[in-house]
């Protein structure tokens, strides 16, 4: 398969961390392993293909141990990746310090969240890395933009990045969605991410996007508003920050059975406390994914269109 050409390839090691331990609770099943491509590929495989083309040096999958066999047989045995692959388990009982043996790990059934997923991978991360969701289609250019920044960054600095998507490029035709609305300063640095739920196009034909609030009112956003789709880039400095905040989370919310420590929450707090800076890298790509079961046929249709345009081969791994 094609790998990015140029003298920069191999100059700086970069990892791609893929969070694939989710329960698929939105509509049931392991949605990361559902076929959407012409030859049975998953959304995840298109991301892998794009990541290799962009020049990432390795891939780190964060998965649950109970899905490893399916993951290997349905994905890794088929995808002929020309870069190293590492598997890391995200388990409820894998926590820092005394929390490993605490009573809450014996009764809890829900994963600890995306920040915990990255924490679980900390021992295999020794270079700048990107983090993505396994069931999101981010677009080829987004991977290139992110990888190029990571390859050129100063690993010792707490200067992080986020791929910024146009809000209108991230909506679902099947219903409202939740998105992280970004507050960006004039210097292009992120000031914070605020989650808004029940976002969908307004029926007025204005092109604006409305977010239904709990009191019944609607907050209106421009379609050009920048949102986060959980495609982040970090230097290894973030690992100490995640460890610190995860411990704080466990102290204050560890006994709550449904509480989760989210990566955007860690980012928000780190920015607010001036522990780091995060630059927003605008991407022209359209995001899509399977939020609702009804999204899957639409995702398959969009991928067929991209194949017809020559963006991808009919079979991703046949010529690998």
Any idea where the domains of the chain sit in the sequence?
A: 15-308
Where residue 143 falls among pLDDT bands split at 50, 70, 90?
very high
Listed residue (142, 159, 117, 147) closest to 20, CA to CA:
117
Mean pLDDT (the chain) is 89
Angle between helices 43-54 and 140-152 (to 10 degrees): 40
| Among the ranges given (20-29, 67-76, 126-135), the one the predictor scored with the smallest mean pLDDT | 20-29
Can you tell me the mean pLDDT for 87-94?
A: 93
Can you tell me the mean pLDDT for 196-213?
A: 83
CB 191 within 8 A of CB 183: yes
Where residue 22 falls among pLDDT bands split at 50, 70, 90?
confident
Where residue 207 falls among pLDDT bands split at 50, 70, 90?
confident
How many other β-carbons are positioned within 10 Å of the β-carbon of residue 176? 18
What is the pTM (predicted TM-score) of this model?
A: 0.91
CATH number of the structural domain 15-308: 3.90.550.10
pLDDT for residue 81: 92
Structure tokens at 185: 């300063």
How many other β-carbons are positioned within 10 Å of the β-carbon of residue 311? 13
């Amino acid at each position: 398969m094609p790998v990015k050409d140029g003298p920069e390839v191999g100059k700086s090691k970069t990892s791609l961390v893929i969070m694939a331990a989710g329960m698929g609770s939105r509509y049931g099943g392991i949605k990361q392993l559902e076929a959407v491509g012409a030859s049975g590929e998953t959304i995840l495989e298109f991301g892998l293909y794009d990541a290799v083309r962009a020049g990432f040096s390795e891939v780190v999958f964060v998965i649950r141990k109970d899905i490893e066999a399916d993951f290997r047989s349905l994905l890794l045995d088929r995808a002929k990746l020309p870069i190293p692959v590492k598997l890391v388990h995200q388990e409820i009982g894998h926590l820092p310090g005394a929390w490993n043996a605490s009573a809450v790990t014996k009764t809890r059934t829900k994963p600890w969240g995306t920040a915990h997923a990255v924490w679980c991978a900390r021992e295999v991360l020794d270079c700048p890395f990107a983090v993505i969701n396994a069931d999101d289609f981010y677009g080829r250019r987004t991977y290139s933009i992110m990888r190029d920044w990571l390859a050129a960054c100063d690993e010792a600095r707490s200067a992080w990045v986020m791929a910024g998507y146009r809000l209108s490029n991230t909506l679902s035709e099947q219903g409202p969605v939740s998105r992280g609305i970004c507050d960006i300063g004039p210097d292009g640095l992120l000031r914070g991410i605020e989650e808004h739920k029940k976002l969908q196009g307004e029926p007025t034909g204005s092109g604006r996007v409305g977010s239904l609030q709990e009191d019944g009112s609607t907050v209106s956003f421009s379609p050009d508003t920048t949102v986060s789709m959980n495609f982040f880039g970090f230097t290894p400095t973030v690992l100490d920050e995640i460890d610190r905040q995860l411990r704080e989370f466990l102290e204050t919310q560890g006994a709550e059975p449904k509480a989760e420590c989210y990566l955007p929450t860690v980012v928000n707090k780190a920015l607010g406390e001036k522990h780091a800076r995060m630059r927003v890298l605008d991407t022209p790509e359209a995001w899509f994914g399977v939020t609702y079961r009804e999204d899957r046929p639409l995702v398959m249709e969009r991928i067929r269109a991209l194949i017809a345009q020559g963006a991808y081969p009919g079979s991703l791994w046949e010529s690998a």
